[in-house]
Amino acid sequence: MGAKHQESGTGDGAGTFDPFPKFAYSGPVRPVYPLSPRPSIPPHIRRPNYAREEALFSSRNIRVNTAADQEGVRKASVLAREVLMAVLAAAKPGVTSDELDKICFEEAIKRDTYPSPLGYHGYPKSVCTSVNEVICHGIPDQRPLEDGDVLNVDVTLYHYGYHGDLNATIAVGPKAQSDEDKMRLIKAARDCLDGAIAICGPGVPFAEIGNVIQPLAESRGCSVVKNYTGHGIGRFFHGAPTVFHHKTKKSWGIMQPGNIFTIEPMLNLGSNWRDLSWPDDWTVSTVDGAPSAAAEETLLITEHGVEILTAEGGPKVLDTREARKQRGLPV
């Protein structure tokens, strides 16, 4: 599904170019090609089904994972957090997103894991790096990060049969860190995620996630992207449930102990939630060039609440009964 490199694109004299010079971008970020070659996976690394050319189909039913499955996702999630932190530590002005991709790949291989995005429906890289107005699925390329950028890094790892998935948004350099609007946006994305996690537990409809996130985002002067969702995860990269981050009647399903899924709200600064797809078939940006931010964790529903499998510092168990009671949700 990746786009063909078009050498007729506008170059900069250094051998790099925009492969889509006629595309009407919404903001200043441009892809900087050529992409670096796809790395070779060591033979001892276990590959997911889409990297083995095997057919494997997920069910529409929301999976109640066994204790063994839960432990498998927990381990993959811990490793994914470690890799994300390594990538974020290297994200500084002057560093290209392609360099961040190489760090993700190398750190994944060190941990005997496969970087889940690599080859997924043709995605060409090991990590997603989304800068400024890019909402999600940004492809790492030769563009250096700039002081003032907002950067989201989305890491998923596959470890011995299980995926673990998370992302985080940071301000790159002092210029971005002193920008009140960008910092408000980044904090709002994280607060929306934390607010949704706080009400997760047995008996809670998945629709409650969007009911929490949308009002909170809008109270911070942000809008919730509606076309991209959280998802079930485990043996499959993406599966049931579909986790909406806005109020909708499309959401279905009730949380049960053993459910594993992600919540990953994507917020745009301002009131326009709509998105624009680039010709590479992956990159998604805001339609008005406004910056975007996201935050994500992989979660396990427990008997009394939720376990954040990808939490910084290791999995974190929350008893959410009081928060659910205050909101009038099942306890």
User: Quick one: pLDDT at residue 14?
Assistant: 72
On the question of pLDDT at 267 being above 60, the answer is yes
CATH number at residue 164: 3.90.230.10
Task: Tell me if 99 is assigned to some domain.
Answer: yes
Residue 234 lies in a domain: yes
Residue-wise pLDDT tens digits, 176-218: 999 999 999 999 999 999 999 999 999 999 999 999 999 999 9
Q: List pLDDT tens digits, range 110-140.
A: 999 999 999 999 999 999 999 999 999 999 9
User: Does 35 fall in a domain?
Assistant: no
Q: What is the pLDDT of residue 57?
A: 57
- The whole-angstrom separation of Cα 170 and Cα 95 is 14
In tens, the pLDDT along 218-231 reads 999 999 999 999 99
pLDDT tens digits for 50-62?
987 555 556 679 9
Range of the domain at 74: 58-326
- Contacts for 151 with CB less than 8 Å, ≥ 6 apart: 91, 129, 130, 131, 145, 169, 170, 171, 172
With beta carbons less than 8 A apart as the criterion, state whether 224 and 269 touch: no
Read off the pTM: 0.93
Residue 42 has pLDDT above 80, yes or no: yes
Residue 112 lies in a domain: yes
Q: How much is the mean pLDDT over the chain?
A: 94
Considering its fold, how many domains does the chain have in total? Answer: 1
Instruction: Please say if the pLDDT value at position 174 is more than 50.
Output: yes
- Whether 13 maps to a domain, the answer reads no
79-121 per-position pLDDT tens digit:
999 999 999 999 999 999 999 999 999 999 999 999 999 999 9
Provide the pLDDT for residue 58: 63
Q: Is residue 50 part of a domain?
A: no
CA distance 181 to 240: 35
- Quick check: is 224 in a domain? yes
**32 within a domain of the structure (yes/no):** no
pLDDT-derived band at 310 (thresholds 50, 70, 90) equals very high
